[in-house]
Amino acid sequence: MSKSADSGCFGWKYIKDGSRYKYVRKHIDPNGNEHWIAKIPNATSKEYPTERDAAKAVDLFLINKGKEPVNILKRK
């Protein structure tokens, strides 16, 4: 798993392969703080304080859309 960074807008860096969860991205701001983004293609994007919270948000979004969770949560 390589950790390359792409410079983004205003000094923010996107860390490729920065998360072990599907649809979760790691961004680093110019001050060096980590931000975890739940990014669902063609749907939504929101920032969370931890990688785990972002992964749970992705799963809850998918469940609400009638799909199977892909990260932390499991269907009964």
**Integer Cα distance of 17 and 74 in angstroms:** 23
Residue 40 within any structural domain of the chain = yes
User: Could you count the other beta carbons within 10 Å of the beta carbon of residue 19?
Assistant: 18
Residue 41 within any structural domain of the chain = yes
Q: Shortest CA distance to 53 belongs to which of 40, 65, 68, 37?
A: 37
Residue 37 within any structural domain of the chain = yes
Residue 22 within any structural domain of the chain = yes
6-45 pLDDT, tens digit per residue, is 555 566 776 767 788 999 998 888 888 888 999 888 888 8
Are 41 and 27 in contact by the 8 Å Cβ rule? The answer is: no
**Integer Cα distance of 29 and 61 in angstroms:** 26
pTM of the shown model: 0.76
Q: Which domain holds residue 50?
A: 5-64
Q: How many domains does the chain have?
A: 1
Which residue, chain included where needed, has tokens 């990014």? 39
Residue 74 within any structural domain of the chain = no
What residues form DSSP beta bridges with 35?
A: 27
